Amino acid sequence: MTQYTILCVDTEAGVDKISDAIEENDTLRSVVRTSVDGATDVIDTENVDCVVTEYDLPDGTGLSIIETLREQSPNTPCVLYTAVSPAQIDTSSFESGSVEYFNREMPDAHDRLGFVVEDIITHNAQAGFLLPNDEQSRLEALAEYDVDSQPIEESFERLTGLIASHFDSAVAFIGLIDRTTENLVACTGADWDMLAREDSVCTHSMLQDGVMVVEDITDDARFRSNETLHQLGIVSYAGANLTTGVGNTIGQVCVIDHEPRTYSEAEKEDLQEFADIAMEILELRHMIDDTTTETL
């Protein structure tokens, strides 16, 4: 049974009541803090699946905790569990991310809190995925390469073979990310050809600059409940962006292992170099295709 970790934040007088309400649900485990600073320390050092926080705290407000969480894990849901009226709260802080307002003075609020939290976590896991700010131009850039018409599969398969050998990894693949799927144009070590975008770690990796590493998906709130990753045996992940000349990320070059793994800065640099080579191959094929078309 999956057990979710809930960061519960309230004053010393009220935090135990929140914790008790959470732990009445067998799928939920509480971590208790009584200040903004204490909650921030947990966010910096642990993976949490949801935050339940009072608005008024001794050293600030619950919104400060939510803002800190969003910087590290924008998809993690939060519940503002308070008697403070929404009219007294700066609602501009609710523009992005998942935040629920739950009035703790409602009848049966204590009894319903655990159910509400579990429902929010489940819904959040099924809600889809974050889109990059340039999603439309990114998709247009991907379409311009017209990969299906270009003979790049053999070149990419040789490259993924080199990548898997270089990193001594179980799997290496090159994936191009369209509107709903990640299409693996080359894959060494497995017979994967496509992943739904909401199931792919690359959906998250493409949102950040540089190489993204997940040492162990079971320790990451974003992926620990992803059944597809578990079924494929994916435990550790490193991914580097395939980026066009104008800055659109159209895919990823990735290495996968079936056990936890760390990557040094030098290894991250090597993976990004492989991604740059893959992009150069794609650019060259695109240029040849354009030249051929112009001469016809």
Q: Average the pLDDT over 255-263 and give the result.
A: 97
Distance of CA 230 to the CA centre of its chain: 16
Contact 1, 28 (CB under 8 A): no
β-bridge pairing 236-243 and 50-53: unpaired
pLDDT by residue (tens digit) across 192-234?
A: 999 999 899 999 999 888 999 999 999 887 788 889 999 999 9
Where residue 3 falls among pLDDT bands split at 50, 70, 90?
Answer: confident
Q: Assess whether pLDDT exceeds 60 at residue 91.
A: no
What is the C-alpha to C-alpha distance for residues 27 and 124, in angstroms, rounded to an integer?
16
Per-residue pLDDT at 124: 67
Token pair of 77, please?
């849901």
Where residue 128 falls among pLDDT bands split at 50, 70, 90?
Answer: low
Token pair of 272, please?
């990004």
pLDDT by residue (tens digit) across 11-50?
A: 999 999 999 999 999 999 999 999 999 999 999 998 898 9
Where residue 289 falls among pLDDT bands split at 50, 70, 90?
Answer: low
β-bridge pairing 60-61 and 56-57: antiparallel
**Polymer length of the chain:** 296
All structural domains of the chain with their residue ranges:
4-125, 135-295
**Which CATH number applies to 4-125?**
3.40.50.2300
**HEC letters along 210-224:** CCEEECCHHHCCCCC
What is the C-alpha to C-alpha distance for residues 207 and 205, in angstroms, rounded to an integer?
5
| Helix, strand or coil, per DSSP, at residue 246 | coil
| Helix, strand or coil, per DSSP, at residue 175 | strand
Per-residue pLDDT at 195: 94
What is the CATH superfamily name and number for domain 135-295?
GAF domain (3.30.450.40)
Within this chain, domains 4-125 and 135-295 share the same CATH topology: no
pLDDT by residue (tens digit) across 133-169?
A: 888 899 999 998 887 776 788 899 999 999 999 999 9
Q: Average the pLDDT over 95-103 and give the result.
A: 69
Per-residue pLDDT at 131: 78
Per-residue pLDDT at 96: 44
- Nearest CA to 67 out of 87, 81, 84, 53 is that of 53
| Helix, strand or coil, per DSSP, at residue 96 | coil
Predicted TM-score (pTM) of the model is 0.62
What is the C-alpha to C-alpha distance for residues 290 and 146, in angstroms, rounded to an integer?
11
Single-letter amino acid code for the residue at 79: V
Per-residue pLDDT at 229: 95
Q: What is the mean pLDDT of the chain?
A: 88
Per-residue pLDDT at 295: 45
Token pair of 228, please?
């597809």
Neighbouring-strand partners of residue 245: none
- Nearest CA to 232 out of 263, 197, 195 is that of 195
Q: State what percent of residues in the chain have pLDDT above 70.
A: 90
